[in-house]
Amino acid sequence: MSDAFIGVIDHADTETGLTEAHTEGTVSDLIGAGLDTVSTALHWMLLLLVKYPSIQTKLQEQIDKVVGRDRLPSIEDKSNLAYLDAFIYETMRYTSFVPVTIPHSTTSDVTIEGLHIPKDTVVFINQWSVNHDPQKWQDPHIFNPSRFLDENGALGKNLTNSVMIFSIGKRRCIGDQIAKVEVFLITAILIHQLTFENDPSQNLSLNCYYGLTLNQKGKKCCQQGFIVL
Ligand code: HEM
């Protein structure tokens, strides 16, 4: 990504082109916003694979059927791996690992559905609450990837669009498409190549601590005898 930006600077022929200072800021914004979020997503995926071994087995069987053992999964496999997509959406919904969005401030008085919010009020969205609303989600506190699949095993777009993890509105995450590709590919390759188990020396818990993202403290799991987390 840095190389692409440097290429744009090198070939900029007007004074309004990208400057070095812009580039530095943009790249650090993208890395800052895209690193902790994606790695936290992957941590939760692995933890839930360990917690639900039957789901892990089902995912491995489906990936083997679609991809086989002679190559690695690629993004072209996505349309044939609805259950993996469902697992990823359910992990985002169930964990809501970015529980509230970045705070913003109102620039004028505003009324939304009868609720008056004065100018200069700090507002942010409680994504966790949206993702656990019992009026929208059946048994919201149960981890169930199949909730996203219809009777033919296809992904229900209406429900996947209801998962809120990238915020909403003008300032919603600009990296959501890259993030979805990254998470899909890395998760698919890990599941294709490895089986994850709990480290027998510790109890498996989903407890976490709060920051911008919800993280697990010092979790370890085993893959064929190697500690990987
Ligand atoms: C699963 C991964 C990710 C999640 C859950 C996530 C979530 C979010 C959330 C909740 C916001 C705050 C939106 C708001 O202010 O209301 C945000 C902002 C942002 N995200 Fe992401 N993000 C992810 C990955 C990425 C990636 C990979 C990139 C870049 C390549 C990125 C770039 C940004 C940027 C630049 C902003 C600030 C947008 C603005 O202020 O207008 N994010 N993200």
Choose one of 85, 173, 186 to mutate for the ligand 1 pocket test, by most ligand atoms within 8 angstroms of C-beta: 173
DSSP string, 96-126: -SS-B---EE-SS-EEETTEEE-TT-EE--B
Q: Where are the domains of the chain?
A: 2-98+125-225
82: nearest Cα among 57, 63, 67: 63
- Ligand 1 contacts CB of residue 36 (under 6 A): no
Q: What percent of the chain has pLDDT over 70?
A: 91
Averaged over 145-174, what is the pLDDT? Answer: 94
Q: Is it the case that residue 223 has pLDDT exceeding 50? A: yes
- Ligand 1 atom nearest residue 168's Cα: 16
Strand partners for 5? none
Residue 104 Cα to ligand 1 middle (Å) = 14
Higher pLDDT, 24 or 79: 79
Which spans in 147-221 are helix H?
Answer: 157-160, 176-193
Average pLDDT over residues 36-65: 96
- Pick the atom of ligand 1 nearest to 1's CA: 30
Residue 229: pLDDT above 50? no
| Least trusted range by pLDDT, from 48-52, 66-70, 113-117, 204-208 | 204-208
Q: Which residue has the tokens 């943009």?
A: 26
Other Cβ atoms less than 10 A from the Cβ of 173: the count is 18
**Residue minimizing CA distance to atom 18 of ligand 1:** 173
Q: Which atom of ligand 1 is nearest to the CA of 182?
A: 27
Q: Is 173 annotated as a binding residue?
A: yes
40 has pLDDT over 60? yes
137: its two tokens: 């989600």
Assign 227 a pLDDT band (cuts: 50, 70, 90): very low
Q: Which two tokens stand for residue 186?
A: 């890395």
Whole-angstrom distance, CA of residue 86 vs CA of residue 89? 5
- Confidence class for position 213, pLDDT limits 50, 70, 90: confident
CA 59/CA 198 separation, integer angstroms:
18
Q: Is any atom of ligand 1 closer than 6 Å to the C-beta of 165?
A: yes
Tell me how far the alpha carbon of residue 14 lies from the centroid of ligand 1, in angstroms. 30
Question: Tell me, what's the ipTM?
Answer: 0.98
For residues 185 and 55, give the distance between their C-alpha atoms in angstroms, rounded to a whole number.
18
Give the model confidence (pLDDT) of 41-50 as tens digits.
999 999 999 9
Q: Does domain 2-98+125-225 have CATH number 1.10.630.10?
A: yes
Residue 6 Cα to chain centre, angstroms: 28
